[in-house]
Structure 1
Amino acid sequence: MSLALEDRLAITELVSLHGHLVDDGSLDRLEELFTPDVVYDLTDFGQAPLSGVAAIRDAAWALGAANPVAHHVTNVVVTASPDGRVRVRSKGLGIKADGTCGSVSYDDTVVRTADGWRISHRRVSARRSPLGGVTKPG
């Protein structure tokens, strides 16, 4: 499947919008990002996957002041599949109120809905070691 430039732009903006909405506390607008049955996979952080937009919203409210004050997304790569789904890989930086920061990888599945492109599955993986933990062979 080939994606039109307009679709690629819309998908990239969708992924970017996440940080703006969360950082602004606009959690009532998460339906603009996710399908109603989204799976938000946080198993790399020792948490069970969240199912549905309400679960994501509740988890963010529960985290409260421990949420990052800024989410930044970079290195967005969009790959179309023959089944109409789109895979999006991106990097995220989170800045905490105390100035510490962390890095994650987002692996998203994006689908076209009647309301536009939405994320139906997101896996968040912490970046904990250089070169992804790979060491030089031999």
Structure 2
Amino acid sequence: MIVELRAEDRQAISETLSLHGHLFDEGHLDRLGEVFTPDVVYDMSALGVGTFEGIEAVRSAALHLGADNPIAHHLTNIVITGEEEGRATARSKGLVILADGTLASVTHLDSLRRHDDAWRISRRVISPQRAPLGGASPADAGNR
């Protein structure tokens, strides 16, 4: 059931989503509990990287990627939907700048829930954007 979120909740969710990029870009991996629930599922399987469960697994994966991590994460086009009391879904677009200077576009699908009286990401699914119009052919474009 979709519920209406208060403006304060929308702002807090947006700030949580935005903080993610700052923490990763600045290497503050010891602060991931500020954006994730302890049992977070971070799914980058569509990027060929895998799925990680728990903050420590996410931190370890970032450290393992090392220089292959993006050097900058930028978040835009956030759409937030209240799912039920204390839960929400957010869709957003992400632009990442890679170490070789290339730019990539992704879509984030985030499930959020209240944890320790704050909004935290409990599941993030990252999907690459590799084709215009989501890959729709001209015949499909009118049916989406």
Q: What band does the TM-score fall into relative to the shorter chain?
A: over 0.9
In structure 1, list runs of 5 or more residues that go unmatched. none
Give the TM-score normalised by structure 2.
Answer: 0.91
Match of 2:133 in 1: 131
Larger CA deviation: 75-84 vs 85-94: 75-84
Alpha-carbon distance in 2 for matches of 1:32, 1:79:
21
Alpha-carbon distance in 2 for matches of 1:84, 1:23:
28
Q: CA deviation at 1:53?
A: 0.4
Q: CA deviation at 1:82?
A: 2.9
One of 6, 9, 14 as aligned partner of 1:7 = 9
Q: 1:84 to 1:74 in 2, by over 3 A?
A: same
One of 49, 52, 55 as aligned partner of 1:53 = 55
In structure 2, list runs of 5 or more residues that go unmatched. none
Match of 2:120 in 1: 118
Moved over 6 A (4+): none
Alpha-carbon distance in 1 for matches of 2:85, 2:137:
36
User: Is 2:102 the partner of 1:94?
Assistant: no
Match of 1:71 in 2: 73
**Structure 1 counterpart of 2:106, one-letter code:** V
- Overall identity of the aligned pairs, in %: 54
Alpha-carbon distance in 2 for matches of 1:25, 1:82:
33
Larger CA deviation: 20-29 vs 82-91: 82-91
Alpha-carbon distance in 2 for matches of 1:94, 1:122:
16
Q: CA deviation at 1:48?
A: 2.9
- 1:14-29 equivalences in 2 (<5 Å): 14-29=16-31
